[in-house]
Structure 1
Amino acid sequence: MSDITFKDSNGTVLEEGDSVTLTKDLKVKGTSETLKRGTLVKNIRLTSRPGEIECNTKKVKGLVLKSEFVKKA
């Protein structure tokens, strides 16, 4: 992850372990869950794929989110 920069919807640089907030409601594929706008997600993990972060929520474990749908908390 040396050369990849991860930015949120506002252009703020994201780092490993940051907390983020969802900027829109997101339907989770493969489940009937919808993560609501404003949901706080703690302790994100950066991936090797640009624009994608991994995280866990109370309801969904091993979730991959696009960084364009989150903002740094």
Structure 2
Amino acid sequence: MWRDYNWDSEDENKVELVVKDCNWNVLSNWDTVMATKDLKVKGGADIKRWDKFKNIRLTDNTEEIESGKMVLRTEFFKKI
């Protein structure tokens, strides 16, 4: 007895997270973002307005991105 296998059925179960910056632009891995305001960082140098962060990585949380060892909130950054 043969069974028909639908190869697309696995793709339908996947959920794709959409990460957006402060201006609702869609972010993806390896994008460059810029700070929109001064931010204080615990245990490190402060982030100044217009500081750039290159090659960001997305996380499981849609409100956070990673740049190096820092986890950044998307509400304070815009895509360049």
Q: One fold, TM greater than 0.5?
A: yes
4+ residue segments displaced more than 4 Å: none
Where do 5+ consecutive residues of structure 1 fail to align?
57-61
Choose which of 8, 26, 37 in structure 1 pairs with 2:49. Answer: 37
Q: Does 1:12 align with 2:25?
A: yes
Partner of 2:61: 49
TM-superposition CA deviations, 1:36-61 (whole Å, max 9, x none)? 000011000000112100003xxxxx
The structure in which a higher percent of residues are helix is 2
Q: How many residues align?
A: 67
Identical-residue share of aligned pairs (%): 48
Where do 5+ consecutive residues of structure 2 fail to align?
1-14
| 8 A contact 2:64–2:74 mirrored in 1 | yes
Higher alpha-carbon Rg: 2
Q: Which has the higher contact order (CA 8 A, sep 6+)?
A: 1
TM-score (norm 2): 0.77
